[in-house]
A and B are shown apart, each in its own frame.
Chain A
Amino acid sequence: MLRIENLHANVDGKAILNGISLAINPGEIHAMMGPNGSGKSTLSYVLAGRPGYEVTQGSVTLDGEDLLALDPHERAAKGMFLGFQYPVEIPGVSNVQFLRTALNAQRRARGDKELSAGEFLKLAREQADALDLSMDMMKRAVNVGFSGGEKKRNEMVQMGIIDPRLAILDETDSGLDIDALRVIGAGINRILRKPDKAVLLITHYQRLLEIVKPDFVHVLAGGRIVRSGGAELAMELEREGYGAVAA
């Protein structure tokens, strides 16, 4: 599904990614772990097409198509979703309005019929209920006045509504208490643990990986994948620390 080859990227002229290669197939969950500053968030932004993140070398394809040639909204329409580490507050734009616009833009791009207001609200209610977020909150401005945990839950509600094929989740577990972590982990499993879907889960900690069991674990350091393995690698990291494992 996603193929990253020898990816190099700069931010503000500084090299952050230094040759990442990774293949993600349908049905797989990959965890990307690594210390602060290793390039985890940069990788997620490069994949989503954030302006200011300049690819200097390498290639990324989604189902064989050059991902880097697409604008962010086109990548989304191809089924990619970025879960933000710091979801953005947008005063004056309601969640419902935003998500209906987003979903219908994607459906238009794929040649599907747009959802009516009624159809959309039904879908939004189902997804909000599943993550314990009230419809009142869905009618409020995007992330404005939301607590850290509510913002992350809102990311998952958005993911449930949009129903992507490939999700890149950037520290979706950061800032969550144990109960919220369970809700979010269950959400990820429910939405994405399917034979035709895939996940790149970026995280610092092993906690989330106890709920969302990864098929592969990679360790990122200095903008490179320095080790790859199965779920046991995450436990090794937890035990020994990045210093020992990445060395």
Chain B
Amino acid sequence: MTLLALPTAREEGWRWSDLSALPALAERSPTGRVPDALPWLDCAHEGPRLLFIDGRLDESRSRLGPVEIGPVSVQTGHPLGRLAGAGGWSLRLGRDHAPPGLLQIVHVSTGAADHLAGEIVLDADAQASIVETFSGEGWTNRLAGVTLGKSARLMLNRRVLGPAGFVSFTDHAELGEGASFVAATLAAGGRDTRLDGEIALVGEGAYAEAVGALLARARQRHDANFVIRHSVPSGTSRQVWRSVADDKAACSVAARVEVARHAQKTDGEQSLKGLLLARSATINAKPELEIFADDVKCAHGATVGALDRNALFYLESRGVTPDEAKALLTRAFVADALDRIGEKRVREAFYADAEGWFA
């Protein structure tokens, strides 16, 4: 591979990332070993399923439905996103298109690097709900473009599982009038991450939510960077991130809200909270507001703390073991983010993954 002019920690936007493992992963050969059990969700209303093994569609185990495989046109200047190339999958739903059921995408990496782009275009009033699951142990790099027409609704839930390796994704989203985009992410495996998103509210009254729970232990690193741009009036945005770091791990979240001069009546909220399970762990939280309009409501908060000792003792005095007490309180801590996932079946699956991490 000829790539890898990767950003370094000297660049402000990359100072909390550690990309040093990527060149070696990019040179490895995939083992091609796919686990028998794949992390599909059982749902009442089955939708399309896409299985990508090392970035290639496994047609025999996929069910495309309205999804197409082929060239996509997502523009990006992002140093990892632009590696994704011009090929991938796309979901285009016309005006008033009924939801195609839950679209499930599973990316399995068998130990090397793969890059892939995806494009989601929802015309007016169309709706879609997607769960993307990252499993395996190499470097999985994804680029996504999202375009939502008037009053279109997209729920994009992602979970990063798998024992080792790296996951990066770069989202570019554009929301039309009254459109709604909810992106929720859970990182609960052993892989490092670099997660980037730029969400632009270009139609009035749009709603954007970028939320997530990042769980890290050992020497893991998670790094999420999301920007929400309000360029027209009456938009609403929410950024809720909960980071949990144990051992020598580090979780970093940079969340930014930009409100242009004409974007009056913007309602923005940021809540970045970190939970340190060990003194040697690190949490970085960087809430940023850039506001040029004068009639806006923007709240932001960032806190970092440890588990409440009084609560731990209260639980333990009733017989809860110390590990269970820690897990109960940690689960409660990430609930602010995971409770944002509207579909019960998806939310329960994400909670189960988080609980698997606590256990």
Contact = CB atoms under 8 A, between A and B. Distances in A.
A77 interface: yes
Nearest to B327: A101
B332 interface: yes
B2 interface: no
Interface string A92-119: 1100011101110110010000000000
B299 interface: no
Contact of B328 (A50, A77, A88, A97): A97
A92 B309 CA distance: 16
A90 B314 contact: yes
Given A90-B332, A92-B335, A98-B328, A51 B320 contact: no
B242 to A, nearest CB: 11
A103 B320 CA distance: 8
A229 interface: no
Given A51-B309, A88-B310, A72 B317 contact: yes
Contact of B318 (A49, A91, A162): A162
A135 interface: no
B75 interface: no
Given A51-B309, A92-B335, A76 B317 contact: yes
A76 B321 CA distance: 10
B248 interface: no
Contacts of B319: 73, 76-77, 102-103, 105-106, 109, 162
B357 interface: no
A71 B309 CA distance: 15
Interface string B321-350: 110110011011101100000000000000
Find the residue from B313, B315, B316, B318 having the highest chain A CB count within 10 A: B318
Contacts of A97: 328
B318 A76 contact: yes
B352 to A, nearest CB: 14
A48 interface: yes
Which 3 pairs of residues, A with B, have the shortest CB-CB distance?
Answer: A92-B332, A76-B319, A106-B319
B316, B331, B336 pick with most chain A CB within 10 angstroms: B316
Contact of B316 (A71, A93, A162): A71
B311 interface: yes
A73 B320 contact: yes
Contacts of A206: none
A105 B324 CA distance: 9
Interface of B is mostly: helix
Contacts of B316: 71-73, 76
B313 A50 contact: yes
B3 to A, nearest CB: 43
A84 interface: yes
A81 B336 CA distance: 31
A93 B314 contact: no
A120 B315 CA distance: 18
Contacts of A142: 314
Interface in A15-59: 48-51
A48 B315 CA distance: 12
A216 B317 CA distance: 26
26 contacts: A50-B313, A51-B309, A51-B313, A71-B316, A72-B317, A73-B318, A73-B320, A73-B321, A75-B317, A76-B317, A76-B318, A77-B319, A84-B317, A90-B308, A90-B315, A90-B332, A92-B331, A98-B315, A98-B328, A99-B318, A101-B328, A102-B315, A102-B320, A105-B320, A106-B319, A162-B319
A133 B34 CA distance: 52
B320 A101 contact: yes
A72 B309 CA distance: 13
Interface in A110-148: 141-142
Given A98-B328, A142-B314, 15 more contacts: A50-B313, A51-B309, A72-B316, A73-B316, A73-B325, A77-B319, A84-B317, A88-B308, A88-B313, A90-B329, A93-B328, A102-B315, A105-B321, A158-B318, A162-B319
B5 to A, nearest CB: 44
Contacts of B317: 48-50, 72-73, 75-76, 81-82, 84
B313 A102 contact: no
Contacts of B313: 50-51, 72, 88
Nearest to A110: B319
Nearest to A50: B313
A93 B330 CA distance: 10
Nearest to A52: B309
Nearest to A83: B317
Contacts of A158: 318
A101 B332 CA distance: 14
A87 B311 CA distance: 9
A164 to B, nearest CB: 9
A106 B317 CA distance: 11
A162 B321 CA distance: 15
A104 to B, nearest CB: 9
Contacts of A51: 309, 313
B276 to A, nearest CB: 17
A98 B318 contact: yes
Given A51-B309, A98-B320, A91 B315 contact: no
